[in-house]
């Protein structure tokens, strides 16, 4: 079964440090999503890419977060500088949308559990 | 703000019983999707029901959609301990691919 792969699975670091999370979407998928999950806020969409182009990152704090897709096999989410309130599980998901707004199911990775001390 | 809200927030049943979870949403949709999340894992897509469908089945899952009431239900029949997980409904807007997830229903199936 094809899977979305996220690395690292766990990350513990001190506040102020840069954090980079990586995602390998399923081969052939043309949409990539980044989500953050916390007990208080639930699942929040941070960024959305289609054909490697960022379409929506309105849910992402711009001052410290950045999301990129250097190529079709890699998506990254960076936090610099990190803060304790960034502690959460970050999920990447990918999907295949043959046309825009086709609303196909998303396939999730198992997440990066981030703890900022 | 969340588009979908699941009810109940938590549900505990015995193996073999049926489990019903409800989802309400706020705006018009093209489809509604249900996902399952096991502890420590990512979400897994279960079923998608389009706005012109009223009911859909997949194995032991039955999903209904009432667009007039902006609500959906997920029924798991003959539950198993392995069904223990959190279940989320998710809706995309009419013009967009960004799913908005509800807070989820935590289901525990006791053996």
- Domain ranges, ordered by start, for chain B: 5-110
B2 contacts in chain A (CB < 8 Å)? 42
Measure Cα distances from A102 to A32, B29, B30 in Å: 14, 12, 9
With cut-offs at 50, 70 and 90, classify the pLDDT of residue A100: low
Q: What is the DSSP letter of A104?
A: P
Q: What is the pLDDT of residue B97?
A: 66
Q: How far does CA A26 lie from the centroid of its chain?
A: 14
Please count the residue pairs, one from chain A and one from chain B, whose beta carbons lie less than 8 angstroms apart.
Answer: 55
Q: What is the pLDDT of residue A112?
A: 98
CA–CA gap between residue A101 and residue B41 (Å, rounded)? 27
Q: Parallel, antiparallel, or unpaired for β A88-95 and A31-38? A: antiparallel
- Outline where chain A has alpha helix (H): none
Q: Do A110 and B92 touch (CB under 8 A)?
A: no
Q: Do A43 and B101 touch (CB under 8 A)?
A: yes
Strand residue runs (E) in A1-117: 5-7, 10-13, 19-24, 31-38, 42-50, 53-56, 65-71, 74-79, 88-95, 107-108, 112-116
Q: How big is the CA angle at B52 (ends B51 and B55), to the nearest 5 degrees?
A: 90
Q: What is the pLDDT of residues A12-22, one digit of tens each?
A: 999 999 999 99
Decide if pLDDT at B1 tops 50: no
b/e code B47-62 from CB counts within 10 Å (16+ = b): bbbeeeeeeeeeeebb
The class that CATH gives domain A5-116 is: mainly beta
Topology adopted by domain B5-110? Immunoglobulin-like (2.60.40)
């Amino acid at each position: 079964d094809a899977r979305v792969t996220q690395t690292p699975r766990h990350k513990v670091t001190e506040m102020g440090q840069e954090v980079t999370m990586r995602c390998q979407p399923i081969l052939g998928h043309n949409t990539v999503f980044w989500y953050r999950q916390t007990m208080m806020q639930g699942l929040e969409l941070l960024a959305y890419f289609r054909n490697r182009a960022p379409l929506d990152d309105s849910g992402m704090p711009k001052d410290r977060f950045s999301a990129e897709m250097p190529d079709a096999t890699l998506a990254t989410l960076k936090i610099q500088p990190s803060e304790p309130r960034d502690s959460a599980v970050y999920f990447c998901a990918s999907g295949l949308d043959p046309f825009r707004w086709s609303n196909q199911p998303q396939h999730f990775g198992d997440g990066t559990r981030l703890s900022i001390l | 703000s969340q588009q979908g809200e699941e009810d109940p927030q938590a549900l505990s049943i015995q193996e073999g019983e049926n489990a019903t979870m409800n989802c309400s949403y706020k705006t018009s949709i093209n489809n509604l999707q249900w996902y399952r999340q096991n502890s420590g894992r990512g979400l897994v897509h279960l079923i998608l029901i389009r706005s012109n469908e009223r009911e859909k089945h997949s194995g032991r899952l039955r999903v209904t959609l009432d667009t007039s009431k902006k609500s959906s239900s997920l029924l798991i029949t003959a539950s198993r301990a392995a069904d223990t997980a959190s279940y989320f409904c998710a809706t995309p807007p009419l013009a967009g691919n960004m799913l908005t997830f509800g807070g989820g229903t935590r289901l525990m199936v006791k053996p």
